[in-house]
Amino acid sequence: MHGGDDSPRPDSSPLLEVADVTFGYSARATALRDVSFSLAQGERVGLVGPNGSGKSTLIRLVADLLQVRRGDITIDGRPNHTRASREQLCYIASNDTLPQFLTGREYIELMHRLYRTAPDEATVDDLLERYQMGGRQFDLIEDYSHGMRKKIQLVSALSLSRPLTIIDETLNGVDVDALFEFELDAARVADDRGLLLCSHDFRLLENVCDRVIVLCRGEIAFDLPTSRVLDDFGSVDALVRRALALARAQESP
């Protein structure tokens, strides 16, 4: 049953908590099975796994784009389907489908209106310049390349500065300079904010994230601090390969 939006936030609760979530698109197709993890304030968590492992399904569940049927998801201590929770979250999808009739600057302003906030113009200007979009901010989005659309999405999300930002493969197709800028911005996540980053760029995850979660066959295969991943496996790539090997071994007769 959906609760109210104005319930008080429980003290010391995680910024994001996913508890025993199982989800399937049909009775015979289980996309996620008993998935549980939390993300604390000030934490940057990487989410990786092979195609079809359930990453995008999990992210869409957290963002309340899919309805949780078994298990619970809370944001800042409240059920994720409440308005209060949705306002805490900024989700950048993997696609670059944006309103083409707007300019880049108008898109940023629109996103702030949706969240009922006023953009800090100095912050927006700084982000646009650092992501090399200052000279194109007043051009229509229909004239943007794929990489430019991704960068205007990033600028919008970073200027919104929501307590929880979720990025689903948004950085694919973004140029190297923008990736370096994003690493700097991700490192500046304040103590009261968090980042969930889904990416196939393992080097980026190693540089940005405090923890790495590996999804495989719809289950969490590993959930480890990045420092331990590097110490025990040498790289995120090696960790993912290990998860795949274990999954194949379990399927063998």
Residue spans per domain, the chain: 36-251
DSSP track, the chain: ----S-PPPPTT--SEEEEEEEEEEETTEEEEEEEEEEE-TT-EEEEE--TTSSHHHHHHHHTTSS---EEEEEETTEETTSHHHHTTEEEE-SS----TTSBHHHHHHHHHHHTT----HHHHHHHHHHTT-GGGTTSBGGG--HHHHHHHHHHHHHHH--SEEEEESTTTT--HHHHHHHHHHHHT--TT-EEEEE-S-HHHHHHH-SEEEEEETTEEEEEEEHHHHHHHTSSHHHHHHHHHHHHHHHH--
pLDDT of residue 253: 61
- pLDDT below 70 — which residues of the chain? 1-12, 252-253
pTM, entire model: 0.90
Q: What is the C-alpha to C-alpha distance for residues 108 and 121, in angstroms, rounded to an integer?
A: 11
pLDDT of residue 26: 85
pLDDT of residue 28: 82
**Half-sphere exposure at residue 140, Cβ-oriented, CA atoms within 13 angstroms:** 5
pLDDT of residue 84: 92
Q: What is the C-alpha to C-alpha distance for residues 237 and 229, in angstroms, rounded to an integer?
A: 10
Cα 101 to its chain centre, rounded Å, is: 26
**Half-sphere exposure at residue 18, Cβ-oriented, CA atoms within 13 angstroms:** 24
pLDDT of residue 13: 80
Could you tell me whether strands 211-216 and 219-225 are parallel, antiparallel, or unpaired per DSSP bridges?
Answer: antiparallel
The CATH number fitting domain 36-251, selected from 3.40.50.10470, 3.40.50.1100, 3.30.365.10, 3.40.50.300? 3.40.50.300
